[in-house]
Structure 1
Amino acid sequence: MDRLPWWWRSGWGEADGFGVDFGDFKVKVGRKVRKNMAWPDIFQRGTLLSRFSHHHVVVFLLTFFSYSLLHASRKTFSNVKVSISKQWTPSAFNKSIELPVEIWSSNHLFPSAEEATLFLGTLDTIFLFSYAVGLFISGIVGDRLNLRWVLSFGMCSSALVVFVFGTLTEWLRFYNKGLYCCLWIVNGLLQSTGWPCVVAVMGNWFGKAGRGVVFGLWSACASVGNILGACLASSVLQYGYEYAFLVTAAVQFAGGIIIFFGLLVSPEEIGEKKLSLLIMELQVDREGFGMYSLAYACLKLVNYSFFFWLPFYLSNNFGWKEAEADKLSIWYDVGGIIGGTLQGFISDVLQKRAPVLALSLLLAVGSLVGYSRSPDDKSINALLMAVTGFFIGGPSNMISSAISADLGRQELIQGSSEALATVTGIVDGTGSIGAAVGQYLVSLIQDNLGWIWVFYFFILMTSCTVLFISPLIVREIGSLLQRRQARILSE
């Protein structure tokens, strides 16, 4: 205990264990097994501060902001696409001045903005494919090595790659497609260490009771990172896009150092005994695992398309300045934060995830139709954007965090002690494969058919998400009805 930082040595209380749902039963560590209740246990006894110790608060904040910084660096790239595209094409110079061919070709990668845009989409695809592959690997590695080491290494190394990609190459005036592709492959692999590690750490510290609302609030880390990245990029964009990369890389590197010295990955590191489990009924939902993974592949495609292309769309479609588009795109993430938290709370009350997801996704189809017809008015656009983020970003946050933790903990109970980060990596990796394919398709569809067909594509993918989880929806709604009938009969 003496070797721990001071903020770990003065706790506010003891953790209350954790539980796991299996059908109509709840397994509580160190407590009796009880029937499912209509109101989550976490909201029935005491406040959050009395339920969670000082250690829980520090873990929540450190993991929250570590992943926020990773997302901020990703968001920076999407926020400066217009500036990068101009720098890579002859439009950056006065077209009336004839430049020697060797000078022109040494400073530009593409003869037109359209080709530059297509390459930007290719970079997004490359990043997400390497990110997806890395997630499968990082989940396994994270479950076998110290999660703190893996997360810190990924953050610091990724920051260095981002610095070279966006800042050093611009300072040296060195533009090379092969170098950009290689750097973005490496960046995807390094960034993939983040999500499985932080979800595994959160799963170690926070139990099943109230996990929907806790993880719903915590999963706002991605949206907060998007907002942070947009604000940082827009604040320094006037000095050059390279400074946007410089600032986010520096902050992310500093965050990695803090994680290395400050994060404790499990209660065992503060001397608490390893939790022993009482298992009354055991049935891992393998069908749910596969269905949620496929559904997330479709949903993450849509969510990440907004993430990567929204500022570019606002500038390209409405002619708004890039800095203004960056700031306006924040409202999508604001909607995602509110949606993830509120929908997580509702799923805790129902103790079922799929019906909440289904309703939100059905409404997401309507919000996509509405946003595709948004007028050239920033206030109306921001409102429609927030609504779209609520119904798309919210379910995406739930699947990637709370549901992944549920599935991972079930695998853990089944007998595999090395499962939580692995399961999270598989779910998020499958989603990232879908997102990777989608980013290239978005640029291709936009270039050939226009933005309206991009939104039709989003509607199709959102509908496929509902289709994939429809068996789970039917099963969970049936379970809710049976539970209600049993309660009525018992009264």
Structure 2
Amino acid sequence: MAWPHVFQRVSLLSQFSHHHVVVFLLTFFSYSLLHASRKTFSNVKVSISEQWTPSAFNTSVELPVEIWSSNHLFPSAEKATLFLGTLDTIFLFSYAVGLFISGIVGDRLNLRWVLSFGMCSSALVVFVFGALTEWLHFYNKWLYCCLWIVNGLLQSTGWPCVVAVMGNWFGKAGRGVVFGLWSACASVGNILGACLASSVLQYGYEYAFLVTASVQFAGGIVIFFGLLVSPEEIGLSGIEAEENFEEDSHRPLINGGENEDEYEPNYSIQDDSSVAQVKAISFYQACCLPGVIPYSLAYACLKLVNYSFFFWLPFYLSNNFGWKEAEADKLSIWYDVGGIIGGTLQGFISDILQKRAPVLALSLLLAVGSLIGYSRSPNDKSINALLMTVTGFFIGGPSNMISSAISADLGRQELIQRSSEALATVTGIVDGSGSIGAAVGQYLVSLIRDKLGWMWVFYFFILMTSCTIVFISPLIVREIFSLVLRRQAYILRE
């Protein structure tokens, strides 16, 4: 049924210009740099904890006796580690709030300005937090909290802006596979952050923050001078103009209409004045768009599971199997590898079917089985890595799809395509909801692990994955019914 259009979509992909490639790479690496600074903080927690709790018995940090009192923030390393965990939670909540705000701002101001400002300002905050305070020997818990709240707000400008820019350049044809590949930027950022931090950590944790912040600041400057927000900036036609002339089978993957047979393509041409008067829709209007609330609630549950693996997987491997911390860090990369492959392959399949929800449903159902299998993984690194990759494929893949390709579909559906801008706002709502779920999840995972053990943590993950399916179940049913009708119509034409 949809297979005859596969080659048509491949030919459309081949028509991408060098401008598309540049936009892809700039947005990819801009968000990778933002994620790298987060990963750096995770990688130097042990060093920070040691620096904040100096004592006569702490031989790993050589400090003069006279400055012990100035940076003796905590009586023990356990207390310092607890505070670092609190900083993680503070960051996630401020990041979630910032996503809602940044999406609205991004649809009203130039996306390049917002993204560049966020990257450069966040780099400065990271520099002050990790490097400047250490050089000045100024240690204050309230200052650290305030800086990390501000950092969360500034980092939140990244995702809504880069998704909006990508949505401006890449239309429906191939969006699933393009965004699937592109959404690997977070995983690449994690690897980049780990490499940058480990390369200079021997000189002191402050240099890890300095290097990461410097690279991120330079990236913000490149974005300001080099990023093209939309094809119209260089006189090319926008994706709406191209999509209006595609055939019926290439209609949007997110459609507010209940019956596909009622769809009538609109070939009306707007004059220049109507194009110039395009304005952003309100936050409430964006929430009322078809699919936004279901996918936001679903992503809150799914990102909780995905980010729990991101934060807790190395600790779980060390704690549960007794493996060395360095080995656990390297092994946890296989989860990201599974997510990259899953997002790309599932995006390609959804492009072929021209529907997203059924692909998500199948992947999430299989994710439940993969979680059960991984929770019973033996003490064997090869088997664990394989099961971890499979789990990342079925959990990280759908998570990447919702946060990128589906958010772009939601922000460019027919109801608003002709008169309004909503892409950054919708992306902020979806990812902001997911970040709230992730923030709450970090506390719940810690609580469940302490009270009930790791097996109940996996039961909790299974529950949240099932809730993800429940929240998008109306969309799943509607799109499966649409596929059945399309199949029947294809058979009748034969």
Describe the shift of the 1:424–1:195 C-alpha distance in structure 2 as closer, same or farther (beyond 3 A).
Answer: same
**Which position in structure 1 is the counterpart of 2:385?**
382
**Which position in structure 2 is the counterpart of 1:441?**
444
Asked whether the equivalents of residues 196 and 421 of structure 1 are also in contact (C-alpha less than 8 Å), the reply is yes
Describe the shift of the 1:246–1:273 C-alpha distance in structure 2 as closer, same or farther (beyond 3 A).
Answer: farther
Asked whether the equivalents of residues 335 and 390 of structure 1 are also in contact (C-alpha less than 8 Å), the reply is yes
Measured after TM superposition, the shift of residue 355 of structure 1 is 1.2
Describe the shift of the 1:419–1:97 C-alpha distance in structure 2 as closer, same or farther (beyond 3 A).
Answer: closer
Match of 2:75 among 111, 116, 128: 111
Match of 1:78 among 27, 38, 42: 42
Please give the alpha-carbon distance, in whole angstroms, between the structure 2 residues aligned to 1:448 and 1:217. Answer: 39
Superposed CA offset, 1:421-473 (max 9, x none): 11111111111111111122223333444433333322221121111112211
Please give the alpha-carbon distance, in whole angstroms, between the structure 2 residues aligned to 1:283 and 1:368. Answer: 49
Describe the shift of the 1:452–1:46 C-alpha distance in structure 2 as closer, same or farther (beyond 3 A).
Answer: closer
Please give the alpha-carbon distance, in whole angstroms, between the structure 1 residues aligned to 2:267 and 2:48. Answer: 51
Describe the shift of the 1:215–1:286 C-alpha distance in structure 2 as closer, same or farther (beyond 3 A).
Answer: same
Task: Tell me whether 332-341 or 89-98 shows the greater mean CA deviation.
Answer: 89-98
Measured after TM superposition, the shift of residue 391 of structure 1 is 1.1
Asked whether the equivalents of residues 41 and 209 of structure 1 are also in contact (C-alpha less than 8 Å), the reply is no
Asked whether the equivalents of residues 281 and 420 of structure 2 are also in contact (C-alpha less than 8 Å), the reply is no
Please give the alpha-carbon distance, in whole angstroms, between the structure 2 residues aligned to 1:264 and 1:273. Answer: 29
Describe the shift of the 1:256–1:240 C-alpha distance in structure 2 as closer, same or farther (beyond 3 A).
Answer: same
**Which position in structure 2 is the counterpart of 1:204?**
168
SS at match of 1:202: helix
Superposed CA offset, 1:146-191 (max 9, x none): 1111101101111111122222333344332211211111011100
Please give the alpha-carbon distance, in whole angstroms, between the structure 2 residues aligned to 1:176 and 1:55. Answer: 46
Asked whether the equivalents of residues 40 and 208 of structure 2 are also in contact (C-alpha less than 8 Å), the reply is yes
Describe the shift of the 1:237–1:95 C-alpha distance in structure 2 as closer, same or farther (beyond 3 A).
Answer: closer
Measured after TM superposition, the shift of residue 41 of structure 1 is 5.0
Superposed CA offset, 1:198-225 (max 9, x none): 1111111111111111111111111111
Asked whether the equivalents of residues 237 and 323 of structure 1 are also in contact (C-alpha less than 8 Å), the reply is no
Report sequence identity in percent.
91
Task: Tell me whether 76-85 or 149-158 shows the greater mean CA deviation.
Answer: 76-85
Describe the shift of the 1:103–1:65 C-alpha distance in structure 2 as closer, same or farther (beyond 3 A).
Answer: closer
Asked whether the equivalents of residues 300 and 431 of structure 1 are also in contact (C-alpha less than 8 Å), the reply is yes
Please give the alpha-carbon distance, in whole angstroms, between the structure 1 residues aligned to 2:491 and 2:143. Answer: 66
Asked whether the equivalents of residues 55 and 68 of structure 2 are also in contact (C-alpha less than 8 Å), the reply is no
Asked whether the equivalents of residues 281 and 421 of structure 2 are also in contact (C-alpha less than 8 Å), the reply is no
Describe the shift of the 1:384–1:96 C-alpha distance in structure 2 as closer, same or farther (beyond 3 A).
Answer: closer
Task: Tell me whether 71-80 or 306-315 shows the greater mean CA deviation.
Answer: 306-315
Describe the shift of the 1:483–1:254 C-alpha distance in structure 2 as closer, same or farther (beyond 3 A).
Answer: same
Describe the shift of the 1:403–1:90 C-alpha distance in structure 2 as closer, same or farther (beyond 3 A).
Answer: same
Please give the alpha-carbon distance, in whole angstroms, between the structure 1 residues aligned to 2:63 and 2:195. Answer: 36
Please give the alpha-carbon distance, in whole angstroms, between the structure 2 residues aligned to 1:163 and 1:274. Answer: 51
Asked whether the equivalents of residues 75 and 308 of structure 1 are also in contact (C-alpha less than 8 Å), the reply is no
Asked whether the equivalents of residues 51 and 61 of structure 2 are also in contact (C-alpha less than 8 Å), the reply is no
Asked whether the equivalents of residues 280 and 421 of structure 2 are also in contact (C-alpha less than 8 Å), the reply is no
**Which position in structure 2 is the counterpart of 1:276?**
268
Task: Tell me whether 161-170 or 38-47 shows the greater mean CA deviation.
Answer: 38-47
Measured after TM superposition, the shift of residue 276 of structure 1 is 7.0
Asked whether the equivalents of residues 279 and 420 of structure 2 are also in contact (C-alpha less than 8 Å), the reply is no
SS at match of 1:414: coil
Describe the shift of the 1:66–1:445 C-alpha distance in structure 2 as closer, same or farther (beyond 3 A).
Answer: same
Asked whether the equivalents of residues 121 and 439 of structure 1 are also in contact (C-alpha less than 8 Å), the reply is no
Superposed CA offset, 1:102-144 (max 9, x none): 9766434333444434333322221111111111111111111
Asked whether the equivalents of residues 199 and 401 of structure 1 are also in contact (C-alpha less than 8 Å), the reply is yes
The alignment of Structure 1 onto Structure 2 pairs a total of residues equal to: 448
Asked whether the equivalents of residues 118 and 444 of structure 1 are also in contact (C-alpha less than 8 Å), the reply is no
Superposed CA offset, 1:65-121 (max 9, x none): 111111111122223333333444468944999999997664343334444343333
Please give the alpha-carbon distance, in whole angstroms, between the structure 2 residues aligned to 1:360 and 1:52. Answer: 30
Describe the shift of the 1:357–1:113 C-alpha distance in structure 2 as closer, same or farther (beyond 3 A).
Answer: farther
Measured after TM superposition, the shift of residue 54 of structure 1 is 1.3
Please give the alpha-carbon distance, in whole angstroms, between the structure 2 residues aligned to 1:398 and 1:177. Answer: 38
SS at match of 1:273: coil
Describe the shift of the 1:426–1:50 C-alpha distance in structure 2 as closer, same or farther (beyond 3 A).
Answer: same
Please give the alpha-carbon distance, in whole angstroms, between the structure 2 residues aligned to 1:49 and 1:424. Answer: 24
Describe the shift of the 1:383–1:98 C-alpha distance in structure 2 as closer, same or farther (beyond 3 A).
Answer: closer
Please give the alpha-carbon distance, in whole angstroms, between the structure 2 residues aligned to 1:275 and 1:86. Answer: 65
Asked whether the equivalents of residues 278 and 420 of structure 2 are also in contact (C-alpha less than 8 Å), the reply is no
Superposed CA offset, 1:262-312 (max 9, x none): 10101111xx999976xxx999999999xx010000111111122223333
Describe the shift of the 1:79–1:362 C-alpha distance in structure 2 as closer, same or farther (beyond 3 A).
Answer: farther
Asked whether the equivalents of residues 278 and 419 of structure 2 are also in contact (C-alpha less than 8 Å), the reply is no
Task: Tell me whether 119-128 or 332-341 shows the greater mean CA deviation.
Answer: 119-128
Asked whether the equivalents of residues 67 and 221 of structure 1 are also in contact (C-alpha less than 8 Å), the reply is yes
Task: Tell me whether 435-444 or 348-357 shows the greater mean CA deviation.
Answer: 435-444
TM-score (structure 2 length as normaliser): 0.81
Describe the shift of the 1:202–1:94 C-alpha distance in structure 2 as closer, same or farther (beyond 3 A).
Answer: closer
SS at match of 2:160: helix
SS at match of 2:138: coil
Asked whether the equivalents of residues 81 and 312 of structure 1 are also in contact (C-alpha less than 8 Å), the reply is no
Task: Tell me whether 54-63 or 240-249 shows the greater mean CA deviation.
Answer: 240-249
Describe the shift of the 1:306–1:246 C-alpha distance in structure 2 as closer, same or farther (beyond 3 A).
Answer: farther
Asked whether the equivalents of residues 9 and 174 of structure 2 are also in contact (C-alpha less than 8 Å), the reply is no
Task: Tell me whether 211-220 or 326-335 shows the greater mean CA deviation.
Answer: 326-335
Task: Tell me whether 306-315 or 215-224 shows the greater mean CA deviation.
Answer: 306-315
Task: Tell me whether 439-448 or 203-212 shows the greater mean CA deviation.
Answer: 439-448
SS at match of 1:44: helix
Measured after TM superposition, the shift of residue 197 of structure 1 is 0.6
Describe the shift of the 1:99–1:251 C-alpha distance in structure 2 as closer, same or farther (beyond 3 A).
Answer: closer
Measured after TM superposition, the shift of residue 254 of structure 1 is 1.1
Please give the alpha-carbon distance, in whole angstroms, between the structure 2 residues aligned to 1:452 and 1:237. Answer: 35
Please give the alpha-carbon distance, in whole angstroms, between the structure 2 residues aligned to 1:150 and 1:406. Answer: 22
Asked whether the equivalents of residues 42 and 210 of structure 1 are also in contact (C-alpha less than 8 Å), the reply is no
Please give the alpha-carbon distance, in whole angstroms, between the structure 2 residues aligned to 1:103 and 1:254. Answer: 34
Please give the alpha-carbon distance, in whole angstroms, between the structure 1 residues aligned to 2:61 and 2:435. Answer: 44
**Which position in structure 1 is the counterpart of 2:472?**
469
List alignment gaps of at least 5 residues for structure 1.
1-36
Describe the shift of the 1:282–1:325 C-alpha distance in structure 2 as closer, same or farther (beyond 3 A).
Answer: farther
Measured after TM superposition, the shift of residue 371 of structure 1 is 2.6
Measured after TM superposition, the shift of residue 344 of structure 1 is 0.3
Measured after TM superposition, the shift of residue 416 of structure 1 is 4.3
Task: Tell me whether 377-386 or 101-110 shows the greater mean CA deviation.
Answer: 101-110
Asked whether the equivalents of residues 131 and 189 of structure 1 are also in contact (C-alpha less than 8 Å), the reply is yes
Please give the alpha-carbon distance, in whole angstroms, between the structure 2 residues aligned to 1:480 and 1:274. Answer: 22
**Which position in structure 2 is the counterpart of 1:332?**
335
Describe the shift of the 1:471–1:49 C-alpha distance in structure 2 as closer, same or farther (beyond 3 A).
Answer: closer
